[in-house]
Structure 1
Amino acid sequence: MIRKLTKDDQELLMALLRKEPALNLFIIGDVENFGFEQDFMDLWGEIDPADGRIKAVLLRFYRSYLPYADGPFDVEGFAEIIRKDNDIHMISGASEVVKAFDGEINFKQVKQLFFAELKEMNNKISESFSSAEPIKKATVQDVEAICALTDTIEEFESSRNGSRTSLRKTLESNTGRTYYIEREDKVIVTASTSAENSMSAMIVGVATHQAFREQSLASRVMAQLCADLLHEGKSLCLFYDNPHAGVIYKRLGFQDIGSWTIVNM
């Protein structure tokens, strides 16, 4: 049986989501930050009639949908909910879950990313960094300086227009943090988190100025950022589609745990 979830279901929902806190950081974060009574967000759960547990969940966040299940689930039932939405923009989630909707929903464009998780740092790599400029934690006053760097990075072009607003909102809401190194009053390397919640966080926005690459600066900032979050008891995850970047992350201790699929409607 599929039904709308309410705050009375939060404990049962978290019992499902905490099985894979990295994969579920978006749903966990949205529930912790916004609850169940928002017009931009809905949650449906498939209830196991045998024991009453929630075996699968579907999140709508604005125009995007994110399904999760830890086993077989009612694909047709969730697909019927999605098909009723005439304003849907995207479906995303663990590839094996999203793939189950193939044939039920027409996809226009499919993008697949590697999904990696960090539970334990490779201390050898962090010990290899020589001490130099201090690594700083950003405040809202640093937004312009950080975005002045990311504006120069080709990979950030698609998100450039809203980058300042997004970063400022993340820092103000404490749903993410940004670390950086500067030289001559200019930010030369940065790394951030987003979707932080009580269990997990996602690494995003890793960038190094073109003139300062191949100096392990991004790895150094990443190592500090990850160490601080692990110390807080959070698991870390990230998406990547560049094998070269994947090598860097794996040196820190990240391990591939699957793939993430984004489909546009």
Structure 2
Amino acid sequence: MIRKLNSADHHVVFSFLRQEPSLNLFIIGDIEAFGYEQEFQELWGDFDENGKLRAVLLRFYDSYIPYASGEFDIEGFAKIMRHAAQPVRLSGKTELVAKFEPLLSLGKKRVTYFCECNEITFPGAENRYEIKQATIDDVDRILELRNRIAEFSVSPSSRDMLVKSLETNTGRVYYIEEAGRMVSSVATTAENTLSAMVVGVCTDPNYRQKGYASEIMKRVIEDYVRAGKTLCLFYDNPNAGRIYKRLGFYDIGMWTMYG
């Protein structure tokens, strides 16, 4: 049976999602930040004949993330998503998302590795560079750095999303500057009581090969691990993957995004 979830279900939902806290980072973070009663966010649960929760579906604005640990009503969740704008923006564990592919009209597909880090495996930082943590006042400088990098796509909503992340403490940005100019940064998003997602790892092309991003990543890992939180990230570039693994990240699965 599928029904809408509400705050009365929270304990059951949270216990269920904690089976794979890293893979459920976005669902957990959105529940903690916005609860169950928002216009832009809805959650559904699929319960078996004994009333045990076996799957969850999150809608956050126009994006959907399902999670299940075993068998569930795939067609029931697909029916909910068919009411959304087409094609459906869907993401989740690759093997789970694949179940919906024959049932939905989906957009462009991207498959990435999903990895996590929950311990400090490198020697203490040498403090070779001064690493600062950004505030709201640094938002335009962060976006200006990202605009200088061809691999980055800065959308019209990027500023609002970054401001919201910093204001709600659901994300952080760490950076290095030279001569007062931001030249390298690493950001996190979807931070919750258990974990956070690393995003926005970037260095100005004129300041690469100095190890800036790796040094910032070490600081980020230290701060989060010491706070008892797991860091997660996506990567699809094997060279980037090797760098992350040297810092203590390891693969836990694949993640598919349609959008």
TM bin (shorter chain): over 0.9
Are residues 1:210 and 2:209 paired? no
SS at the partner of 1:155?
A: coil
- Worse overlay, 82-91 or 208-217: 82-91
What TM-score does the superposition give when structure 2 sets the normalisation length?
0.95
SS at the partner of 1:176?
A: coil
CA contact (8 A) 1:43 1:59 kept: yes
The alpha-carbon deviation at position 160 of structure 1 amounts to 4.2
Matches within 5 A, 1:1-265: 1-50=1-50, 52-86=51-85, 89-124=88-123, 127=124, 130-157=126-153, 159-264=154-259
Give the aligned residue type for 1:99: A
CA–CA separation in structure 1 for the residues paired with 2:151 and 2:240: 12
The alpha-carbon deviation at position 133 of structure 1 amounts to 2.8
The alpha-carbon deviation at position 87 of structure 1 amounts to 5.5
Deviations along 1:129-151, one digit per CA (max 9) or x if unpaired, are 54333111111111122222111
What TM-score does the superposition give when structure 1 sets the normalisation length?
0.93
CA contact (8 A) 1:65 1:91 kept: yes
- Greater than 3 Å deviation, 4+ residue runs: 86-89
CA–CA separation in structure 2 for the residues paired with 1:227 and 1:131: 13
- Worse overlay, 161-170 or 38-47: 161-170
- Structure 1: where are the runs of 5+ without partners? none
Give the aligned residue type for 1:148: E
Change (3 A) 1:106 1:146: closer
CA–CA separation in structure 2 for the residues paired with 1:105 and 1:168: 33
Give the aligned residue type for 2:227: E
CA–CA separation in structure 2 for the residues paired with 1:130 and 1:123: 11
SS at the partner of 1:100?
A: helix
CA–CA separation in structure 1 for the residues paired with 2:178 and 2:67: 43
What is the alpha-carbon root mean square deviation over aligned residues?
A: 1.5
SS at the partner of 2:49?
A: coil
- Structure 2: where are the runs of 5+ without partners? none
Deviations along 1:195-229, one digit per CA (max 9) or x if unpaired, are 00111100011111112211211011011011101
The alpha-carbon deviation at position 164 of structure 1 amounts to 2.5
* % same residue: 47
SS at the partner of 1:161?
A: coil
* Residues matched between the structures, number: 259
